[in-house]
Amino acid sequence: MNQEHKNIVVVGLGLAAAEAVKALIPKLPADHRIVAVAENEGYWPIASLRAAVVPGWEDKPVASVDPLIPRGTQHVLLKGTSVVELREHSVIIDKPHAELGSEIPFEYCILATGSDYPWPCRPRKGASVDEIKSDFRILQTQVESSSSILVVGGGPVGIEFAGEVAAHYNGKAGRAKKQEITIVHAQETYLTERGWKDGFNSSIRSQLDALGVKTIFGAKVDGIPDKTGKVEGGKRDFALSNGQTVTAEFVFLAIGNSPNTQLVQSFDPQAINDSNKLVRVKPSFQLERHPNLFAIGDIADVAESKIYAHAKNHGGVVAANILSLINSASSNSTVDSSLKAYKPGPMLMIVSIGPKGGAGQLFGMVVGSWLAWLAKSRTLFVDAFQKTYA
């Protein structure tokens, strides 16, 4: 392997990073190469909640990252590998590569480490495609065999999981209706971020009510399990902070998400925004004090909704800017003024409630179940996801 190649290290191969890689590879000079470090396979959290409930969906939220890095080229894929340390011009990986070793120097680095979230919103670390599918089938069986479901957390994830269970196990097509599906939410309404309209929350509430999903607001669950799944020892009563109890034999954790910014935090604590723990970036996605480092996707401190439609655009912008920097270096020109500036996307969201329902807010307008179905709920964008990794 030619050690004279100039490396562009990509940490993580989620949707934003995948778009960057696909944009870079055809246009990089011959003396540059991508070194992609991927802890996990391609994963699509948007479809994971239906895959956890509905048999036949287990193959839809997962794809191999192998096709992103063409074989027989100078580019390198380090799969099942983690970056354990970030430095100014190199990364340290946990599994030494036969030719690259443990420390990989880079000219530029794209950090796309995403968010940490309990399974099934994120897969087990290092799980193969087949292992992820098997994990989904286990969850499907556990959900099917549980008459009472407790969902801890009433944000979009909790809403969507409860909606999938209630819509699928509705007493039709030979599927028994669940005796009880309960969401316990610490807040006083589902979506609490400023900018979401009351009508958005009201539409969610009315659709969940119609499906028989009960929501308890302003309460926390005591003694929750450490992972989603069947309750050990069978059905039990869970005490709530408001004095109520909820009986359940399956618990779904819709809490505990956090941006995966530990690498940057260890490298430069000042690069992290104290209020939200996201990576401070310029409009070019460069770290403010480290112009050869870029952060995109969930970890980037950009004032917009954390949704796929926005993250996908990050990849194209960072690819264009890296190509500009490479070209300017080869011509000894100044490029800062020509770097693309990313314009944050609008505040928008659609929350699915089963395959035929949902609610959302698009460009300031609240939309109901029909538009939610048309835009998201029926397909959960799985075709676009699979196409990204094809």
pTM greater than 0.95 (yes/no): no
CB atoms closer than 10 angstroms to residue 33: 22
Per-residue pLDDT of the chain (390 residues; tens, 9 = 90+): 445 899 999 999 999 999 999 999 999 999 999 999 999 999 999 999 999 999 999 999 999 999 999 999 999 999 999 999 999 999 999 999 999 999 999 999 999 999 999 999 999 988 999 999 999 999 999 999 999 999 999 999 999 999 999 999 999 999 999 999 999 999 999 999 888 999 999 999 999 999 999 999 999 999 999 999 999 989 999 999 999 999 999 999 999 889 999 999 999 999 999 999 999 999 999 999 999 999 999 999 999 988 888 888 999 999 999 999 999 876 666 555 589 999 998 889 999 999 999 999 998 899 999 999 999 999 999 999 999 998
Residue 3 has a pLDDT of: 56
pLDDT (0 to 100) of residue 338: 81
Helix/strand/coil for 104: strand
Q: Give residue 337's pLDDT.
A: 59
Tokens representing residue 33 in the block = 């190469």
What is the structure's pLDDT at 2?
Answer: 46
pLDDT of residue 158: 98
CA separation for the pair 268, 290 (Å, rounded): 10
Instruction: Give residue 329's pLDDT.
Output: 79
The H or E element spanning position 181 is strand 180-185
Q: What DSSP string describes 105-160? A: E-SEEEE---EE--TTSSPPTT--HHHHHHHHHHHHHHHHT-SEEEEE--SHHHHH
CB 13 within 8 A of CB 112: yes
3-state class of 97 per DSSP? strand
CB 169 within 8 A of CB 146: no
Spatial CA neighbour of 150 closest among 51, 253, 256:
253
